[in-house]
A and B are shown apart, each in its own frame.
Chain A
Amino acid sequence: MNISASADVLLDVNDLVVHFPAGRRGMFGPPSKVHAVDGVSFRVRRGTTFGIVGESGSGKSTTAQAVMRLIPMTSGQIVFGGENIAEFRGEKLRLARSRFQIVFQDPFSALDPRRRAGDLIREPLDLLGIGSPREREVRVRQLLEEVGLPPQAANLFPHQFSGGQRQRLCIARAMAPEPDLIVCDEAVSALDVAIQAQILNLLKKLQRERGLTYIFISHDLGVIQHFCDEIAVMYLGRIVEQAPAQAFFSAPSHPYSWSLISAAAPPGPLRVRLKKDYLVKGDPPSPVDPLPGCRFVQRCPFAIARCRDELPVLNIQADEHFVACHRTGEINPPDFASL
């Protein structure tokens, strides 16, 4: 996967693997492993939004948190601004954190209930030693204003805010050390739709004004399409399709992408047709000790014998459009135009 101009690549994740131990099979069996993320590679260009979409167990949040160095990774490279931060340890890693920040899904659990909003926003500045104490106070007011909260909000405790306001606090806190990259891990999923739009618009404004780069994790394709420049679809720890947003939504190529799209299509005859032809049955299987073949094989309506035995890798299909499927070209993609 080559992106020609490497100068504008902010983040280059290479073969990221995150396995968790999952007990043993039986009392004396071999130890089991959850293959949460199993060889994921992608690049994020500076100033753009990279969307990762998938269902529960797809490994999208694990990928995000591993890239943030918040959970231990098994192997892989995370090249951020030219340095492999996967090798950073201790104080070096701690200080590097000013450059990449995260916004979590649940604004209720992401803020320490015992501390005031102003202290929470100031925490990264204090910890990373940015500015003088006086400058930090000024910065906290600025940040509050930038995310649309009044200055007196600094004195309040998290439980005094609504869900949307708390998410604004989380964003202000993530913005505080002036990072290059912000990971939004389902950052709008827990919010009411009207609030969701407010937060999406806020994130977009901040990106425009500060040239921020986002990794945007979501299960909602509508939001992903609205928000992202490039999209990766994850299924059971692997990327199955990756493409620029336009290319992805005009010509999706993986059967799982088709299923996701059919489930999210707007109501109408097109949705009925898509669901009938492409919506898969059942739930995603467990990521514990997956079988050797394609991860999607149990649910895929197009699976053949080869899919059971051989794990497909991402192959280039069109310009910057990658698909991991043995049957690309043999099976017909949905035709959106015919309806």
Chain B
Amino acid sequence: MDNILRFNGNPHLETERLLPWYVTGQLDPEDRLQVEAHLAECEECRAELLLERRLGTEVARLPVETGLDWEAFSRRLDPASPPPEGKVFPMIRRALARPGRTGWFLSAQAAFVAALAVLIVPVLRPAPAPYHALGAAPAPANGNAIVIFRPDTSEQALRETLNANGARLVDGPTAADAYVLHLPAERREAALARLRADHDIVLAEPINASATP
């Protein structure tokens, strides 16, 4: 039943084959033009189009009941087990480290920054500290935010940004130059908003995991 049908030379059948996606607006431009050209001259296929619209509407309206339950499902989860090594580190590292292209990179549209968020966070796997020196300062609280600074941000600017927002460094820089921060819990959202507005920062997102150092 899945032998591929090709209707080259038969515009009626080819139009019929494409109608479902013509109705939903999902045809490639060349296919759409082909269908529109044929519909303009074929009354039979215009009638088929009416049927197609109704069929699609009726199928989409079919009720489906499901009894899936988050509470039951969540009991299967074990938040303590960390995700495995991410496979996309190299991509993000190359993107961040690419010399001479930070200008356009940093002004990239929001969608790209959002994609970075997905790619970058696998670096947040908890990494146990190898040792604690006597007299060392108390370990900061767990990280509750992740930020990426512009590659050319100076150490002084980075420090000033952290101080201005009451942020403590929990981890980083990671392999992809991301930092895990602890922000004061009660002011986290406000601090994140300021960080996102900071021209030295590419990405600032909240995290709730226990990304202990």
Same complex: no
B contacts, CB < 8 Å to A: none
Which residues of A pack against B, CB within 8 Å? none
